[in-house]
Amino acid sequence: MADAASFVFDFDSTLVRIESLEALADLALDGADDGAAIREEVGRLTDAAMAGEIGFGEALGRRLALLPLHRRHVEALAARVADDLALSVQRNLAFFREHADRIVIVSGGFREIIAPVAARLGVAADRVLANDLVYDAAGRVTGVDPANPLAEAGGKARAIESLDLPRPLIMVGDGWTDAEVRQAGAADRFYAFTEIVRRPPVIEAADAEVASIDELLHAEGLAGRWSYPRSRMRILLLENVHPAAVARLEAEGYSVETASGALGEDELIARIGGVHVLGVRSKTLVTDRVLAAADRLLAVGAFCIGTNQIDLEAAADRGVAVFNAPYSNTRSVVELAVGLTIALLRDVTDKSAAMHRGVWNKSASGARELRGKTLGIVGYGAIGSQLSVLAEALGLRVVFHDLTERLALGNARRLPSLDDLLAEADVVSLHVDGRRENTALLGPAELARMKPGALLLNLSRGHVLDVEALAAALRSGRLGGAAVDVFPEEPATNADPFDSPLRGLPNVILTPHIGGSTEEAQEAIGAFAAERLLAYLNRGDTSFCVNLPNVQLAEVAGAHRLLHIHRNQPGVLADLNRTMAEAGLNILGQHLKTDERTGYVIVDVDRDYDPAALQALRGVAGTLRFRTLY
Ligand SMILES: NC(=O)C1=CN([C@@H]2O[C@H](COP(=O)(O)OP(=O)(O)OC[C@H]3O[C@@H](n4cnc5c(N)ncnc54)[C@H](O)[C@@H]3O)[C@@H](O)[C@H]2O)C=CC1
Ligand SMILES: O=C(O)CCC(=O)C(=O)O
């Protein structure tokens, strides 16, 4: 479509992340007493001109008159401006260099500042249309050459027309003077470029908005640095995911939306359309219905350890990859479990509450040391085994029970059954995962098997413990206390009410699912999960994926990467290879990994192939998801 098109780019806040005149003002006013006021006025005039409120020529003259601008300031900015390229321009240098003979830069700014950037982009000096500064004998800027059409309102259109460029002509810029080019008929299409600034009147006057050069190239049917513009890929992060994750994903060019609370199933269904990546923590249920409504979803990030809130099989059956952060909050949970155990043994919370009511109750009765007690850990995975290490260091004896064979750390003793553990432990701490089969793992019968006066901790999942049965055991005095961090029904947001049969019981510590809620853990989770999602989006790497075969992949280099997720059924690889051979694709590298349910094939191919061949690959029987990366 755009084979013969000419591209005309604005400069300030389009090719570069600065407004030249403001940057010059900063240099010229450095140390000036009235600098702040002048800078503010210059900024105001720039905005007014960009939004079309005052004429460009008038704004330029007034701004230059305000500044004690000297040649050395211009030279200083020119020396560093090429470091300020817009990020998407930096990524797509190849586009500028390959198509330099159909690119023009037009700006009401100054030739000296634009020249180094044009050189970096490979654009010839005679394809830069800009104002020429005029200096006096002392090197002070007195204005711009009045004979240059760009010194006046409507100048961009006249300057462009004077070049008689091949049409269609595509204008790209952030300001009103760029929109005017299209309005004057000097351009056939105008893209409002919003990577640096977003000006609503300009967007309204544009044929389309592009938030990056990638989007521009995609819209014009040209190959950019990425197979798909990342700014068009929507990432929806719920439940207060740490800002570190947002920053990391945005830095890679993706569009991120956030929400502080969890969403109910119907609310999520209403929002999931068009979303490429969903990020949740423990409360948002990603059900089969949600996944069925997710027309674009590539991946789900669980910004936590547990993934029981996500229908992993339904996701796999749709080729949606699910990632979590399996170790980032482990230590936080363990530290809280240790602290809660000590608090329960010493009845700290009830004593503290009494003090707040003005009651002084100094007594050793019922208060016990940790040392020498037996801790029973149910579920000896990452958290259980870490707890084991810390507990032994504090002088506890540790016994554990796990469904699978686990290495007993230190002097910890494995017990063959849950019942054995319940019979022996003074403190029982639950750290199993949230699989459905663990519902009411501790019910009335199990609680009855615990030692009289024993303590119970649940920091795993709410449904693992029958809270009604626990409340009864506590009320009857059968158990000595409990600390519960997770509940069968948890409020979706901090504004929602909480209720539980455990409320109001003595020596019962209730915490609002904060086992993993430390600043350290949340930041580490944000960083880890974001990195896993980026590895999958950017190169197809499924390391740590919890529902698809794990394949570790290097960056795509000098090739196109085809990613094919399919049902694990006979003949898929043979069909894929036959289809690729028929399409004449030259294979540079291939990986296949399968699990019981799903297969994942990654093929790096030579770049010159007929894109129609990709349709045939989508048609291979058993295909769940197919995408291309480069
Ligand atoms: N309260 C909070 O804020 C947090 C809670 N969690 C919860 O803790 C759980 C455990 O986390 P990790 O230790 O990292 O998981 P993990 O997967 O490393 O360990 C879980 C262990 O439980 C064992 N297990 C499962 N069912 C069992 C059963 N019925 N009986 C005995 N053993 C059983 C597994 O074999 C595994 O060894 C997570 O799945 C999550 O639900 C995790 C982080 C924070
Ligand atoms: O606070 C959260 O995000 C939930 C922590 C949790 O339960 C988990 O990591 O599995």
For the chain, the average pLDDT equals 95
The residue to which tokens 């045939």 are assigned: 616
> Distance, CA 306 to ligand 2 centroid (Å)?
6
Q: State if residue 216 touches ligand 1 by the CB under 6 angstroms criterion.
A: no
pLDDT band at residue 613, thresholds of 50, 70 and 90? confident
| CA 336 to ligand 1: nearest atom | 1
Q: Are 124 and 147 in contact (CB under 8 A)?
A: no
What's the CA gap between 337 and 424, in Å, rounded? 19
pLDDT band at residue 1, thresholds of 50, 70 and 90? very low
> Distance, CA 50 to ligand 2 centroid (Å)?
47
Give me the sign of the Cα torsion angle 441, 444, 446, 452.
Answer: positive
Query: What is the domain class of 331-510 according to CATH?
Result: alpha beta
Beta carbons within 8 Å of 250's beta carbon, 6+ residues apart? 256
What's the CA gap between 171 and 178, in Å, rounded? 7
Q: State if residue 401 touches ligand 1 by the CB under 6 angstroms criterion.
A: yes
pLDDT band at residue 3, thresholds of 50, 70 and 90? low
- Which ipTM was obtained for this model? 0.99
> Distance, CA 304 to ligand 2 centroid (Å)?
5
The residue to which tokens 């269609």 are assigned: 168
Average pLDDT of 403-426? Answer: 98
> Distance, CA 340 to ligand 2 centroid (Å)?
17
Q: Which of 16, 40, 47, 45 is nearest to 196 (CA)?
A: 16
Using CB distances shorter than 6 Å, the residues near ligand 2 are 281-282, 304-306, 329, 513, 516-517
| HSE toward the beta carbon, residue 207, CA cutoff 13 A | 15
Q: State if residue 404 touches ligand 1 by the CB under 6 angstroms criterion.
A: yes
Residue 163 scores a pLDDT above 50: yes
Q: State if residue 111 touches ligand 1 by the CB under 6 angstroms criterion.
A: no
pLDDT band at residue 557, thresholds of 50, 70 and 90? confident
Q: Which of 54, 60, 20, 25 is nearest to 39 (CA)?
A: 25
Average pLDDT of 239-257? Answer: 95
What's the CA gap between 107 and 387, in Å, rounded? 64
What's the CA gap between 100 and 220, in Å, rounded? 16
With the most atoms of ligand 1 within 8 angstroms of its CB, the residue from 399, 414, 433, 461 to mutate is 433
What is the four-CA torsion angle of 567, 570, 573, 574, rounded to 10 degrees? -150
Q: State if residue 462 touches ligand 1 by the CB under 6 angstroms criterion.
A: no
Residue 429 burial (CB count, 10 A): 29
pLDDT in the model for residue 2: 45
Query: What is the domain class of 229-329+518-548 according to CATH?
Result: alpha beta
| CA 325 to ligand 2: nearest atom | 9
| CA 517 to ligand 2: nearest atom | 1
Q: Where in the chain is the domain with CATH 3.40.50.720?
A: 229-329+518-548, 331-510
Query: What is the domain class of 6-220 according to CATH?
Result: alpha beta
| CA 281 to ligand 2: nearest atom | 3
The residue to which tokens 């007690």 are assigned: 373
Residues 364-402: pLDDT tens digits?
999 999 999 999 999 999 999 999 999 999 999 999 999
Q: State if residue 332 touches ligand 1 by the CB under 6 angstroms criterion.
A: no
Residues 524-553: pLDDT tens digits?
999 999 999 999 999 999 999 999 999 999
Residues 69-117: pLDDT tens digits?
999 999 999 999 999 999 999 999 999 999 999 999 999 999 999 999 9
| CA 461 to ligand 2: nearest atom | 7
Query: What is the domain class of 554-629 according to CATH?
Result: alpha beta
With the most atoms of ligand 2 within 8 angstroms of its CB, the residue from 280, 286, 305, 433 to mutate is 305
Q: State if residue 438 touches ligand 1 by the CB under 6 angstroms criterion.
A: yes
Residue 4 scores a pLDDT above 80: no
Residue nearest to atom 31 of ligand 1 (CA): 402
Residue 13 scores a pLDDT above 60: yes
Residues 173-183: pLDDT tens digits?
999 999 999 99
> Distance, CA 169 to ligand 2 centroid (Å)?
53
Residues 432-455: pLDDT tens digits?
999 999 999 999 999 999 999 999
Q: State if residue 242 touches ligand 1 by the CB under 6 angstroms criterion.
A: no
Q: State if residue 378 touches ligand 1 by the CB under 6 angstroms criterion.
A: yes
What's the CA gap between 68 and 39, in Å, rounded? 12
Q: Where in the chain is the domain with CATH 3.30.70.260?
A: 554-629
Residues 182-198: pLDDT tens digits?
999 999 999 999 999 99
Return the SS3 of 300. strand
What's the CA gap between 206 and 204, in Å, rounded? 6
pLDDT above 90: percentage of residues in the chain: 90
Write out the catalytic residue numbers: 461, 490, 513
Q: How far is CA 601 from the centre of its chain?
A: 25
